[in-house]
Structure 1
Amino acid sequence: MSENLLDAFWQMPPIARTLTAVTAVLSLSVHLGLLSASWFIHHPYYLWKFPPQIWRLVTCYLITGGGLSMLFDSYFLYHYLSQMEIGNPRFPRKADVVWYLMFISGTILMINYLVDLPFHTFLRALILAMAYTVTQDQRGMKATFYFITIPAQLTPIAMILVNLLFPGGHIAMLLQLEGFVAAHLYDFLARIWPEFGGGRNVLATPAFVTRLVQTPRVLERGFGTAVRPEDAASGSSSGASRGPLPDSWRTRGRGQRLG
């Protein structure tokens, strides 16, 4: 049973499964009192200290609310992030997803700083931004939101308005609006302006992000060294297309010495 669950976990999209697992474990540890939330929340004060606590720029997106919010936030995080990571033509590479997360996260923090809102964790803003980005390409389709079927592109709006059903929901709306603005800015700069305004995509994935995300060619392992071919499809690195033998002979397998 445990092996089946582990196999299912490793078959999930790597970015989505990693961030969701880290979020669930960290949030559970904080809400159970095993870890102090003060080490993970965001505040400019900690960034100006020496040494600066720069990990807060990441961990402030990895803490959910308590109770059922932990379950729903983790679910929506995986749901929308996996849709971006698999089969989405706007994000054909993992580096594109990572760059999107970097831009959206930085924009949310900048908006929060400029407007001077009292938020210290931003996972719900990030989830709202991903929902907006995913559903913009699903116009004309239907989506189910809390047992209600609505047009897919209205899902982010429904996620914002549902906060009015809970006490203090107007504060949560402000947080999600930060994600809404950040996602709309990304959509404008990366899609609307290049396609309809005649401009260029100023948010193309930088080369350093690609180098950071791509699998290294040489992998040191405990049982040896694995070398990833530069072009496995063409076989240029493995020597499959070289040698004096005709192509038809190369498909016959390994030869056996007779005698």
Structure 2
Amino acid sequence: MSDAMDAYWQLQPLARTLATAIFVTSIGGHLGLIPTGWLFFHSSLAIFHMPPQIWRFLTTFLLSGPQLGIILDPYFVYQYLSQIESGNPKFQRKEDVLWYLITVSGFILLFTQCFLGFQPFLISALIIALCYTASQDSRGMKANFFFFTVPAQLVPYCMLGMSVIMNPAALPQQICGILAAHLHDFLVRTWPEFGGGRNWLATPAFVSRLVTTPRILQREYGTGFRPRTQTSGSSTGASAGSGPLPDSWKTRGTGHRLG
């Protein structure tokens, strides 16, 4: 059990967290442990309700399909997001990946609301958006799609073709997902590099602060603590206050034990 937990904690952190959230939410939703009425997105509830139920912006991406979808959807999310998190040159930092998830999810919500109307759960759009982003930097490489080997950049379109046969209802959502990922790629890379424009989706500072290294660090050989920032006027040796030593000795430094 400990080996499995160690392997789990060694996975890519953002991909691991999102896939786990999808799996747990889907188990609870499909078994009736979590009311799905509290998970779906609707603008009248998420925006115009008082107070706004802002968690729906997130939970609309967390409910997978039933049966095999409970396993496959978290698997695909982890597979594609871990590729983005570990080997994509566009995302040098963890906060860049987090900002990518925020912006692409926002684009998906915008496109589905404008073009499709009410769409309660959007995980299929998110999966194909992640697949599109992960595959664009793998041009010239081959990828396995079920029993076939195809150029890596064609995998999202193979997923669209599979949906035409097996699940046509998911096709409009998936098209919105590809549009969202393509728009992100255009604004972040294509337009700045080839159009001479600026990057309109640069990672803001507040996202960087969200992923700042915490004071408590988990290490393989134990737990480390970052020192707190000392207030001005405090000495390096002992804290201010009464003690057994004379006041004149308190300015002599930290001292060293002899022998």
Hey, what does 2:241 align to over in structure 1?
A: none
> Which residue in the other structure is 1:23 paired with?
22
- Which residue does the alignment assign to 1:246? none
Using the size of structure 2 for normalisation, the TM-score is 0.83
1:144 and 1:130 map into 2 onto residues whose CA distance is: 16
Structure 1 residues 228 and 68: CA distance shift in structure 2, 3 A: farther
Q: In the TM superposition, what is the alpha-carbon distance from 1:174 to its structure 2 partner?
A: 0.3
Structure 1 residue runs of 4+, over 2 Å off? 218-221
Partner Cα distance (2:223, 2:143) in 1: 48
Which residues in structure 2 correspond to 1:37-48 (within 5 Å)? 37-47=36-46, 48=48
Counterpart secondary structure, 1:86: helix
Give the partner amino acid of 1:162.
M
**Is 2:140 the counterpart of 1:135?**
no
Contact 2:26/2:62 (<8 A) preserved: yes
1:63 aligns to what? 63
The CA deviation at 1:72 is 1.3
Segments of 5+ residues of structure 2 without an aligned counterpart are 230-256
Alpha carbons 2:131, 2:156 under 8 Å: kept? yes
Q: Is 1:178 the equivalent of 2:186?
A: no
SS at match of 1:6: helix
Question: Superposition RMSD on alpha carbons, in Å?
Answer: 2.3
CA contact (8 A) 2:23 2:70 kept: yes
Corresponding residue of 1:250: none
Cα drift, residue 87 of structure 1: 2.5
Runs (5+) with no aligned partner, structure 1: 231-256
Aligned counterparts, 1:1-259, within 5 A: 2-47=1-46, 48-166=48-166, 169-216=167-214, 218-219=215-216, 226-227=225-226
What is the TM-score when the length of structure 1 is the normalising length? 0.83
**Distance across 1 between alignment mates of 2:228 and 2:82:** 27
CA contact (8 A) 2:143 2:152 kept: yes
Residues paired across the two proteins, number: 228
Shift of 1:88: 2.0
- Residue aligned with 2:87, SS: coil
